[in-house]
A and B are shown apart, each in its own frame.
Chain A
């Protein structure tokens, strides 16, 4: 049973990674676009008369942004591509549940996005001499895991939502940058107006990212960190629950109408 699951996971991840590697848009989403946003941040910092940019937000934040952009595009377009190329029916008709296929795919997409963050960290450390001395490394690691878990849950939710919705492309336009704006990928949340900060509380990445910022700058306040980690984990679970509910709806609808392509 477990062996079969790992074989399935390995094959799915293999296919998904090959798709990512052969799709050159990955290069744009993981590296080029974050690089542009990071460069704008640096030049704006210089224009404002700052000696040096804030590396956590300007460089590492752009890496998080690359991860997020990659996830939004893959989660929304993978299903659309399956539908367009006539593979969706085959996946739904196979004995492996669609939810499991999506879970493995989304996991692969999130893990592939780590290259963007790794590139940003390397750039910060090698080019700008960013040091992790003084950082709360175990806390930062846990925060990063929660960011990945939050992204996985949101990615699953989006993938399920888009099986029965054709809003893929416009949804990306209203998700990719708005979430980056609301979660404060490239600046601290205090910069946002109060009402925007209030909206961002429903996003698990916001809490995990805040915890990451805290821990990278040496923050060790256990009460604050545990609250942020708990909120990140709890809200992620809510998204996961929503995606499970949507998955049930999708299957019911497919069985009733028998016309997956016309959904």
Chain B
């Protein structure tokens, strides 16, 4: 039993490392920074100036929300790409033909994007402190860090679903990009979710990040662990549901491909 677990953990870490190398090792620092901070940073500036023109009293709300959204870039696009690129580069057949356990192979693809997303947001906060003079005097830092880590994990669940969809749909990247852009409205990045129409609010609370971002905002204002425990629990549950759904979808696609014998024609 313990040997099986050790083998699973080793496989998980090996897969995570190979997936990380495949996604990032060819990258140059300029490319990496551009993909990491280019769109998110300038989108934040755009929303900030829109808010300023509209006469918004607290534009810092937008800054914090956009920083907290940064891990989603890794969690959604990074994880989705890690799954989809197996098909694009013709390695999916080898992967599905191997006897390796599917769970570590599949879940391992999220480890480094999650850590990278966590690091991105963690670095962005001190930078924002300097540029936008964020008031962090009351911040519960450990709780804030935990919230960022949690957000990074839960968004990877959505990434798994989108990655699996991309295996069977040629417009997968467009769907992923659309959902990533839609998050600017849906998860409380630029304004509180309460401002959305009721039916959209239901979608918002069904998505990862909504509760996590709310909890992180409370942590920035100095909230205790107990005060945000319900939100964190909700975020964990949503994250697990999405990851399980993504894994289930992947297995379903795998079974279908085994029946048809056309792995790369999925």
Contact = CB atoms under 8 A, between A and B. Distances in A.
A181 B46 contact: yes
Contacts, number: 105
Interface stretch (A21-29, A201-209, A224-232, A235-243): A21-29
B34 interface: yes
Contact of B181 (A28, A46, A181, A191): A28
Contact of A43 (B55, B173, B195): B195
Interface in A36-50: 36-37, 39-41, 43-50
Interface string A134-176: 0000000000000000000000000000000001011101101
Given A45-B54, A186-B46, A32 B181 contact: yes
Contacts of A50: 54-55
Interface stretch (B135-143, B151-159, B182-190): B182-190
A40 B186 CA distance: 10
Given A28-B178, A32-B181, A191 B34 contact: no
Contact of A48 (B42, B55, B182, B196): B55
A180 interface: yes
A88 to B, nearest CB: 21
Interface residues of A, number: 39
A180 B46 contact: yes
Contacts of B45: 177, 181
A181 B51 CA distance: 13
B128 interface: no
Contacts of B30: 167, 170
Contact of A170 (B34, B42, B53): B34
Given A181-B46, A192-B49, A28 B31 contact: no
Contacts of B54: 41, 44-45, 47-48, 50, 53
B177 interface: yes
Contacts of A258: none
A187 B52 CA distance: 9
Contact of A174 (B38, B50, B52, B178): B38
Contacts of A36: 181-182, 184-185
A178 B50 contact: no
Interface string B169-210: 001011001100110110000111001100000000000000
B57 interface: yes
Interface string B20-56: 0000000000110011001100110111011111111
Nearest to B41: A177
A233 to B, nearest CB: 27
A174 B196 CA distance: 31
Contact of B177 (A28, A169, A173): A28
B35 A169 contact: yes
Nearest to B172: A24
A41 B39 contact: no
Contact of A186 (B50, B174, B177, B184): B50
A194 B186 CA distance: 33
Most A CB contacts (10 A, CB to CB) among B34, B38, B57 go to B38
Most B CB contacts (10 A, CB to CB) among A36, A176, A188 go to A36
A181 B182 contact: no
A28 B174 contact: yes
Nearest to A41: B50
Contacts of B49: 181, 186-187, 191-192
A43 B57 contact: no
A230 B81 CA distance: 46
A33 interface: yes
Contacts of A178: 42
B195 A47 contact: yes
Given A36-B184, A40-B185, A43-B196, A177 B46 contact: yes
A46 B34 contact: no
B191 A44 contact: yes
B38 A173 contact: yes
Contacts of A176: 39, 42
Contacts of A174: 34, 38
Contacts of B47: 40, 44
A182 to B, nearest CB: 10
Nearest to B33: A170
B62 to A, nearest CB: 8
6 contacts: A24-B171, A32-B181, A44-B50, A170-B35, A173-B38, A177-B43
Interface of B: 30-31, 34-35, 38-39, 42-43, 45-47, 49-57, 171, 173-174, 177-178, 181-182, 184-185, 190-192, 195-196
In order of increasing CB-CB distance, the 6 nearest A-B pairs are A173-B38, A170-B34, A177-B42, A187-B53, A48-B54, A24-B174
Given A37-B184, A44-B191, 15 more contacts: A24-B171, A36-B185, A37-B46, A41-B54, A43-B191, A169-B35, A170-B35, A170-B38, A171-B34, A173-B42, A176-B39, A180-B42, A180-B46, A181-B46, A186-B49
